Amino acid sequence: MCGIVAYLGQKEAYPILLGGLHRLEYRGYDSAGIALMQSSGITMYKKKGRVDELQKFCNNLDTSGSLGIAHTRWATHGEPSEQNAHPHVSEDGSMALIHNGIVENYIILKQQLVNQGVIFQSDTDTEVLVHLIKNVQDKEKVSLPEAVIIALRMVEGTYAIAIISKDDPNQLIVAKKGTPLLIGIGDNEYIIGSDGAPIVEYTKQVIYLEDGDVGVIRIDKPIQISNVNDSKNLHRSPYIQTLELNLEQLEKGGFDTYMLKEIYEQPKAVRDSMRGRINLEKDVVSLGGILEYEQKMLNARRFIIVACGTSWHAGLVAEHLFETLVRVPVEVEYASEFRYRNPVIYEDDVLIAISQSGETADTLAAVEIGKKRGATVIGICNVVGSTMARETMAGSYSHAGPEIGVACTKTFTAQITVLALMALSLAKKKGTISMSQYHKLINDLESAPDKIESVLHYEQQIQRIAQYVATKPNAMFLGRGVNFPIALEGALKLKEISYIHAEGYPAAEIKHGPIALIDTNMPVIVVAPEQHTYDKVVSNIQEIIARKGTIISIVTEGDSVIKKMSKFTIEVPKIDELLTPLVTTIPLQILAYHVALIRDCDVDKPRNLAKSVSVE
C-alpha cells in the first residue's frame, strides 16, 4: 500500500525521488519522507501529510546527493505522524530503511531488541527491520548484504525494502517478499519503485524481484541478486523485462482529477478489454491467456469467484453471467472471509480471482488456498506483471490501462467485459447458449463503448442531482438481479469518496428492515433498467414513495413508468439485460464524483484509503 522509490546514479537524487513520490502517492498518503546520502552521512526529512508538505518543508534545505530512498505511507502500525513516517534509521543514524508490507512477528523481534538495549523511536513494525539488520551486522561482523539476508530469515510477514548505509555510501540494497519491488535500469543509474510509476520516465528496462530476493546495487558493479531461501547464498543473473507502461497513461491529460479522466476513459477501456478477443469472421470469442486451462473450465463442477471491494462487485455480476450462460453454479466470496473459512474446494472447481491491482493480500491468499487444494486457479487483473498475474495458473488481463484514482471506475467496467467474454466463450463451447443469444450478446457487447459514451454526456444533468444528494447525510441504493451489484457499487463509490453514509440492497429486501430508514430525507437511488424484474422494482418503488422517500432512478431510454415516480431520472441506452451493468454503473460513478466535489473532498485520494491493499 505504501509507495517506495529509491535512486542511485550520477544525477541529483532528490528531484527524482520527489517526482517518484508524487507518482506513487495514490498508494498511500498520510506521511512521506526522504533519506539522502550526503558527504556528512545520511540526511533525513519527514513530514506528516501529503508529499506536497514534504516538498514545501524541503525547500531551501540541503537536498544534495545522488543516492537516496523515499517513501509515502499508508499507516498500519502507528498513527500517521512524523515519528512513524519512513525512512526509519538505526540508533547511530548510519543506516536508513523504507518498507512496504507488514512484519507480522514484530512484537517478538522488538522485545528481543529492547532486551538488548535498543531504543525505538516509533510505533511502527518497520523500525524493527532497521534495528534488526544493524544488530546482526554488528554482532556477526558481516557485510550489510549478508546482514540483510540473515535478518530477513528471522522476519515473518511481507516486505519490500530499500536500505542505504553510511558504511558504504555507494550501495543500495533492496529486498522483497509478498509485495512487489522493481529495479529500473537506466543509463548508469538505477531507479527502484514499488511499481513502475516512478521508473517509466527514466527507463523501461526493469527487473521484477522474486519473493525472498535481496539485490545489491552499485554503479561500479553488476547488480547482485541472491535469495534468503538459498542457504548457499548463490547469486542469480537478473532477468530484465520491458515495463508495459507509458508516461502519458500516468498523467491527468487535461482533466482536473484522475477519477474523472478514468470515468471518461471507459469507452476506450471496454474496447481495449475486448480487443483481439472477438473474431467475428470465425465467430469465436477467445481469451488467449486461459486457453491452456479451457478444458478444465469447461468441465468445472463449480466456479468460485474471490475478490474484494469493487472487484467483488464485478464477481457478483459474473455470477449472473456464468450461471445464466454457462449453467454452472457460481459462488462469489469475499477473499478475506474465504481465506479463513476452511472452504470446501474440489479438484474440479475453478477458482477465479479478480483484482485490479493484482496485489490485494486477501485475494492473493485465496489464490494460494485454491492452488493448495487442487482447484484450477484463474486470475483476472489489470496490472501487467502483478503478483496475481504470476501466481495464478492462467488468466486474462482487463487491459483498462493504469488506474490512479483510488476509486475504481474504468477497471470495473473492463472486468465485467472480460468476465462476459469468458462466459460467452465457455457457453458457446458447452452449447449452453443458443447461437442467436450468443450473437446478440456479442453485438451488444461491441456496442457497449458507444453506449457508455452516450451516458457520459449526461454529466451536467447528474451534477444537478449531485447538488441534491450532497445535502443529505445518507443514501440508499437499490437494484435487482444483475443490477443489485451495481447498487452495491454505487453505494461504495458514494461513501468512499464523499463520506456520505450509503448502503446498497436488493430492492425487494428493504421491507425486511431497511425500509425503516425511509423518510423525506433519504434519497433512494434505484437502478431500474429494462430487465425481467422491472415490474417488481416498480412495486418496490411504490413502497418507498408511500413512505415519502425520494426516488432517483436509472432507467432505460424511453421509460415512462418509473420516470414519473422519480424526482430525478437518468436514462441509459438499451442493452441486453445481462450487460446493463456496463451502462447503469456510469451515472453512479459520476454522481459520487460530483457529490464529493461539492463536499470539497479529495476524490483521487479519499481519506484513510489507498489504491492497492497489499496488507490484510
Task: Give the active site residue among 2, 308, 381, 601.
Answer: 2
* Shortest distance in whole angstroms from residue 32 CB to ligand M6R: 21
Q: Which of 566, 534, 322 is nearest to 461 (CA)?
A: 566
311 near ligand M6R, judged by CB under 6 A: yes
In the stretch 494-533, what mask flags binding to ligand M6R with x, by CB under 6 A?
--x-------------------------------------
Return the residue of 355, 425, 569, 580 that touches ligand M6R, per CB under 6 A: 355
Q: Which of 72, 336, 356, 614 binds ligand M6R (CB under 6 A)?
A: 356
For position 310 contacting ligand M6R by CB under 6 A, the verdict is yes
Q: Is 540 in the site for ligand M6R (CB under 6 A)?
A: no
The contact mask relative to ligand M6R for 370-409 (x = CB under 6 A, - = no) is: ------------------------------------xxx-
Q: Considering the complex, what minimum distance in angstroms separates the CB of residue 414 from ligand M6R? A: 11
Helix, strand and coil in the chain, % to nearest 5: 40, 25, 35
308 binds ligand M6R (CB under 6 A): yes
Using CB under 6 A as the binding rule, whether residue 357 contacts ligand M6R is answered as yes
**Contact string (CB under 6 A) for ligand M6R, positions 478-497, x = contact:** --------------x---x-
134, 261, 428, 611: which one is catalytic? 611
Based on CB atoms, which residue is closest to ligand M6R, 172 or 414? 414
Strand 550-556 and strand 568-572: the pairing is parallel
Distance separating alpha carbons of residues 510 and 344, to the nearest angstrom: 32
- How many chain residues bind ligand M6R (CB under 6 A)? 16
Find the helix packing angle between 435-456 and 581-598, rounded to 10°.
20
* Separation in Å, CA 117 to CA 110, 112, 120, 395: 11, 9, 10, 50
d(CA 595, CA 494): 8
Q: Are strands 182-185 and 205-208 parallel, antiparallel or unpaired?
A: antiparallel
Compute the least distance from the CB of residue 408 to ligand M6R, in Å: 4
Alpha-carbon gap, residue 532 to 497, rounded angstroms: 32
Shortest distance in whole angstroms from residue 357 CB to ligand M6R: 3
Q: Which residue has the cell 477467445?
A: 286
Q: Which stretch binds ligand M6R (CB under 6 A): 129-137, 171-179, 302-310, 561-569?
A: 302-310
Neighbours of 436 (CB within 10 A): 8
| Min separation Cβ 388 and ligand M6R, Å | 8
Q: How many C-alpha atoms does 467 have within 13 Å on its Cβ side?
A: 6
Active site residue 408: no
User: Looking at 449-542, which runs of residues are DSSP E strands?
Assistant: 474-479, 501-506, 523-528
Q: Is position 137 an interface residue for ligand M6R (rule: CB under 6 A)?
A: no
- By DSSP bridging, strand 31-38 and strand 349-355 are unpaired
DSSP for 418-431, written as a single string: HHHHHHHHHHHHHT
**Residue 611 designated active-site:** yes
CB count within 10 Å of CB 213 equals: 22
- Minimum Å distance from CB 255 to ligand M6R? 18
Q: For ligand M6R, which stretch binds (CB under 6 A), given 306-314, 325-333, 578-586, 591-599?
A: 306-314
> How many of the other CB atoms lie within 10 Å of CB of 465?
22
89 vs 416, beta carbon nearer ligand M6R: 416
Q: Are 583 and 416 in contact (CB under 8 A)?
A: no
Residue from 124, 165, 612, 614 binding ligand M6R (CB under 6 A): 612
Query: Cβ-closest residue to ligand M6R?
Result: 309
Residues that bind ligand M6R (CB under 6 A): 308-311, 355-357, 360, 363, 406-408, 492, 496, 612-613
Residues belonging to the active site: 2, 611
